[in-house]
Amino acid sequence: MNDPAQNLLDVKDKIEKAVETSARVSDPVTLVAVSKVHDRSRIEPVLKAGHRVFGENRVQEAQQKWPALKSDYDGVELHLIGPLQTNKVKEAVALFDVIQTLDREKLARKLASEMATQDRSLKLFIQVNTGEEAQKAGVFPKDVDTFVALCRDQLELQIEGLMCIPPVDEEPALHFMLLEKMAKRNNIKNLSMGMSADFEAAIAFGASHVRVGTAIFGERSPI
Ligand SMILES: *Cc1c(COP(=O)(O)O)cnc(C)c1O
């Protein structure tokens, strides 16, 4: 359990089994290894094992770790999975390849103009607050269709997927189902849902991306 590379293999194995038993016909599942809080010594074994897709939740922390790792290892795809302030958009566009937490018009406008300025095209996921929790980021379910249309029609942004973080005290399956429904009716193909505790269930409900931290890197000590 204290070997991230071995844990990676175990998680990949579980993903494969979940894909087999879910009778899904869609594309393979992308494992986003969530390396927040962990330093280079924990991340490198996973890179050395050949894994290239990682998630971080803070722009500043990612800026300290990833430019060096990206230059040492080819083909890294870095996902931002935490809230993005508009005053960090410039740095985020320069470093990340995927933003999973697009959740408001102001941010969408800023991302559109910054990607044009830097001539970089990031993949964007809209975060949906499926549990309508006050403390959590994300577009409310009732506003998703309008927000998707705004991003596509007015800002000409390509929306690659939807992302959710279900409330801790509720059955995640209900939230996974809801997200799947919203994606389908908006013709969005990717679903980022499922973490260490529930990624297999998420795959059964159609996840294309699972975000797994603890099961790979171990418990995060509080900072
Ligand atoms: C930390 C985090 C994860 C990973 O959670 P684990 O339970 O450690 O797998 C997934 N998604 C988001 C948005 C996170 O912040």
For ligand 1, atom 11, the nearest C-alpha belongs to 211
Q: Are 34 and 55 in contact (CB under 8 A)?
A: yes
Q: Could you report the per-residue pLDDT of 157-181, keeping only the tens digit for each?
A: 999 999 999 999 999 999 999 999 9
For ligand 1, atom 4, the nearest C-alpha belongs to 213
Q: Could you report the per-residue pLDDT of 4-40, keeping only the tens digit for each?
A: 999 999 999 999 999 999 877 667 899 999 999 999 9
Cβ–ligand 1 contact at 211 (below 6 Å): yes
Q: Are 197 and 167 in contact (CB under 8 A)?
A: no
**Whole-number Cα distances in Å, 69 to 1, 32, 33, 48, 74:** 24, 16, 14, 11, 9
What's the rounded Cα separation, in Å, for the pair 162 and 125?
Answer: 5
Cβ–ligand 1 contact at 127 (below 6 Å): no
Residue 23's pLDDT is 73
Phi, psi of 130, rounded to the nearest 5 degrees: -65, -30
Residue 25's pLDDT is 66
What's the rounded Cα separation, in Å, for the pair 149 and 40?
Answer: 40
pTM reported for the whole predicted model? 0.97
For 35, residues 6+ apart whose C-beta sits below 8 A from its C-beta are: 42, 43, 46, 54, 55, 56, 65, 213, 217
Residue 220's pLDDT is 84
Note the residue count of the chain. 223
β-bridge partners, 209? 30, 192
**Is the confidence at residue 222, as pLDDT, over 70?**
no
